[in-house]
Amino acid sequence: MKKLKTVFNQVKSLNGAGAPDMISLLWQLICYSPKMPVRLQQQLLLDEAKPFTLEVDDPHFAKSTLKFKGFTWGEGKRKILITHGWGSKAADFAELITALKSVDDMQVIAFDAPGNGSSEGELSNLLLFAKAATTVIKTFGAPDVLIGHSLGAMANAIAIKETAIQPALLISIAPLINLKENFIASLNAADVAPGLQDQFFTNFESLFDMEASHFTLHNLYPGGLVRRHWLAYDPEDKIAPFAFLENFLIAHPEVETKVYQGPGHERVIKDELVISDLVSLIA
């Protein structure tokens, strides 16, 4: 978190003016994922898990393969894959994983995406999240249930398309809907001038060979591959604004939704009512 604050303050101090390394700073502002230490309760849960290490290719930032770490709990036939959000890690689902361990015949699988938690990588992005989820699916087999929070919900959508699996249940918690708008919000918060923002998005298109506007949940949605999609959100969520979600839900009326007032974007995965509802859905 300290590094991200330093980069943010560097960018903001320029008051919209350019600098020789400005685009590099903006990449760090947008794609450096803050890493928070593991708490005692989380570490105790990780100690119970069977750890694993897998690899994905990062052709954009590291330009090499990156090792990422994951964890499994249980040996049941039903598999649950959990994909965390930006600036998060598998251990942040400690309360949910603990609750899911009580469900019969279950195996819970979670991982730290590249550039997050305990995994390798300096900068990260949605494609690395999706590659990691895809690699886990190909290694452990098709999960019956996929749970994704925030950016993890978008990553799960890509992974389902990539692997052509047909999960019985897809759960999206406070999903990001429009990634470019989240980028713009971060750039605006740091007082980045419109011209510099345009330069960043031009650089983005050159690096990824596609526009940032492509990365919306509507564009990435796996459609008929999902038998049931259940979505939880807080209408006052500032990170994933309801205005974007509303448009997505109009386009996909088959998605079941439930409103949770008050938990916000980050703490929604720890909310007792949310966890209770998820366990009931899965069990």
Do 63 and 185 sit in the same domain of this protein? Answer: no
- Beta pairing, strands 78-83 & 145-149: parallel
Alpha-carbon dihedral 88, 200, 211, 166, rounded to 10 degrees: -10
Do 1 and 101 sit in the same domain of this protein? Answer: no
- Provide the token pair at 59: 């052709």
Closest Cα to residue 239, out of 179, 154, 156, 182? 182
- Provide the token pair at 55: 């690899």
21 Cβ neighbours under 8 A, 6+ residues apart: none
CA distance 146 to 171: 6
Determine the pLDDT at residue 17: 67
Identify the residue whose tokens are 């909310």: 271
- Beta pairing, strands 78-83 & 106-111: parallel
Q: Is 106 helix (H, G, I), strand (E, B) or coil?
A: strand
- Provide the token pair at 146: 């996929």
Determine the pLDDT at residue 16: 62
CA distance to 94, 231, 271, per residue, from 41 (Å): 8, 27, 16
Q: Is 50 helix (H, G, I), strand (E, B) or coil?
A: strand
Determine the pLDDT at residue 21: 85
Do 146 and 203 sit in the same domain of this protein? Answer: no
Closest Cα to residue 114, out of 80, 165, 63, 179? 63
CA distance 118 to 38: 10
What is the 3-class SS of 58-107, one letter each residue?
A: ECCCCCEEEEEEEEEECCCCEEEEEECCCCCCHHHHHHHHHHHCCCCCEE
Do 104 and 206 sit in the same domain of this protein? Answer: no
Digits of tens for pLDDT over the chain (283 positions)? 688 899 999 888 876 666 778 899 999 999 999 999 999 999 999 999 999 999 999 999 999 999 999 999 999 999 999 999 999 999 999 999 999 999 999 999 999 999 999 999 999 999 999 999 999 999 999 999 999 999 999 999 999 999 999 999 999 999 999 999 999 999 999 999 999 999 999 999 999 999 999 999 999 999 899 999 999 999 999 999 999 999 999 999 999 999 999 999 999 999 999 999 999 999 9
Domain of 80: which CATH number?
3.40.50.1820
Domain termination residue (choose one: 214, 237, 269)? 214
Do 66 and 202 sit in the same domain of this protein? Answer: no
Do 141 and 3 sit in the same domain of this protein? Answer: no
Give me the domain span that covers residue 203: 1-32+179-214
Domain termination residue (choose one: 167, 190, 214)? 214
CA distance to 3, 4, 12, 14, 28, per residue, from 19 (Å): 19, 18, 12, 8, 14
Do 170 and 184 sit in the same domain of this protein? Answer: no
Closest Cα to residue 171, out of 144, 137, 148? 148
Do 162 and 224 sit in the same domain of this protein? Answer: yes
Do 118 and 255 sit in the same domain of this protein? Answer: yes
Do 129 and 236 sit in the same domain of this protein? Answer: yes
- Provide the token pair at 226: 């999902």
CA distance 28 to 123: 7
Determine the pLDDT at residue 14: 79
Do 130 and 266 sit in the same domain of this protein? Answer: yes
State residue 186 phi and psi, 5-degree precision.
-65, -40
Do 133 and 259 sit in the same domain of this protein? Answer: yes
Determine the pLDDT at residue 281: 96
CA distance 63 to 61: 6
Domains in the chain, number:
2
CA distance 231 to 255: 7
